[in-house]
Amino acid sequence: MKITVADVEGEVDYDKVIKEFGVQPFGEFAEKMKQGKLFSRALRNFPMFRRGLVFAHRDFGQIYGAITGGKKFCVLTGANPSGPLHFGHRLFLEQALFFQQLGAHVYIPISDDETYVFRKSETLEQATENALKKVIPDILGFPFDEKKTHIFVSTQTKRVYELAVRLSARSTFSTIKAIYGFNNETNPGQIFYGVTQSAHILFPEYAAGVHPIIVPIGIDQDAHIRLARDIAERAGFHKPSSTYHKYIPGLQGGKMSTSKPNTCIFLDDNPEEARRKMMAAFSGGAPSLKEHREKGGNPDVDVAFQYMYFLLENSDKKLEEIRSAYRSGSLATGDLKTMAADKLAKYLKEYQQRRRRNTRRADKFMLKD
């Protein structure tokens, strides 16, 4: 269920987004986290914060307070099993990993109910099976700590419905309607899913006692957070906090779409196939090498550069060298793409090894319901 941002495709004016959605800029906290003596160097340098990729938040103060005060908090990020995970999902999951390394337990609801009631799968079985056979293995490619990880499939977890029923009496149809814009053709499952998603978000408090929850989420999903915060308050839970990150572009420069494989790197793409996709990605270089050497390229729209910036190059120093070399024209488009493609293939290879290894013991990472 997408809530439309004026223009999530192409160039997004994030200042305008902050104003329109009434969220807070993240800069202040990014700055604090960078300097915090409490954090190890690696954590202080979490690229998504350092580079401003996380650009906004709601109520992050309570999370920062829990981190610096050594208090219990947790992180929650869900997945909709309508297709395999793609490279953009790393933005949620890398944040979840980051907070886990700071001590948080990670909760990952897989919303097979959402997939089905919004008709992104033919049957519920397909959605449930996709959750179990594809999405959970995809998540297990990330180096989560099994002792602090609780993955659960919505329809397979008794307490989800129990909590959703509990929360449903704290909301009204008109609230849900205002957020989702339902009409008479809407099915009752779609209406109820509004509170089910709040149940996913508040599940950690329900299962493990009162503690603050941070939810890394796309700004287009902000309505869900607002609903969950509203319901939380009425139902005696903490209002959950959220962070919002910038959009990583699709391989053709527009939006990623899982139904158009040439716009996405899937996390289970064969590394060589992914390399080929990257070599064919939208480029910010000039039409000819000669012209590129003369006028230089535009790293701001170059997909290979953007993927390095978002997720593939941890060193700011190297990134700046690459940026200026590309802008000046001394770094050719083909060479930039090769760098990104190599890093991508290496990442996927390691990721997929971990995916295989952890999938064999997937039950260790599952919620005990």
Contacts with its own copies by CB under 8 A lie at 113, 116-117, 119, 123-124, 155-158, 160-162, 164-166, 168-174, 176-177, 182-192, 194-195
- Record the tokens describing residue 155, joined without a space: 């329809």
Nearer to its own copies, 8 or 124 (CB): 124
Q: How near is the Cβ of 204 to its own copies at its closest, in Å?
A: 18
- C-beta neighbour count of 37 within 10 angstroms: 6
Nearer to its own copies, 50 or 120 (CB): 120
Q: How far apart are CA 75 and CA 94, in angstroms?
A: 11
Nearer to its own copies, 194 or 250 (CB): 194
Q: How near is the Cβ of 242 to its own copies at its closest, in Å?
A: 22
Residue 198 half-sphere exposure, CB side, CA atoms within 13 Å? Answer: 29
List, in sequence order, every residue forming a beta bridge with 334; answer none if it has no partner.
none
C-beta separation of 283 from 302 below 8 A = yes
Q: How near is the Cβ of 178 to its own copies at its closest, in Å?
A: 10
DSSP 366: B
Sheet bearing 24-25, strands edge to edge = 24-25, 54-58, 241-245, 213-217, 74-76, 105-110, 149-153
Nearer to its own copies, 167 or 308 (CB): 167
- Record the tokens describing residue 26, joined without a space: 């993240």
Nearer to its own copies, 194 or 271 (CB): 194
Q: How near is the Cβ of 200 to its own copies at its closest, in Å?
A: 13
Q: Which CA distances in Å does 185 have to 82, 192, 367?
A: 21, 14, 35
C-beta separation of 322 from 331 below 8 A = yes
Nearer to its own copies, 187 or 328 (CB): 187
Q: How near is the Cβ of 180 to its own copies at its closest, in Å?
A: 10
Q: How far apart are CA 162 and CA 118, in angstroms?
A: 21
Minimal CA–CA distance to 299: which of 314, 277, 280, 321? 321
Nearer to its own copies, 106 or 153 (CB): 153
- Record the tokens describing residue 50, joined without a space: 């350092």
- Record the tokens describing residue 91, joined without a space: 């933005």
DSSP 221: G
Minimal CA–CA distance to 284: which of 302, 300, 266? 302
- Record the tokens describing residue 342, joined without a space: 């190599």
Nearer to its own copies, 136 or 160 (CB): 160
The dihedral over CA atoms of 335, 340, 344, 350, expressed in degrees to the nearest 10, equals 80
Q: How near is the Cβ of 114 to its own copies at its closest, in Å?
A: 9
Q: How near is the Cβ of 202 to its own copies at its closest, in Å?
A: 14
Q: How near is the Cβ of 259 to its own copies at its closest, in Å?
A: 20
Q: How near is the Cβ of 364 to its own copies at its closest, in Å?
A: 21
Nearer to its own copies, 38 or 165 (CB): 165
C-beta separation of 273 from 304 below 8 A = no
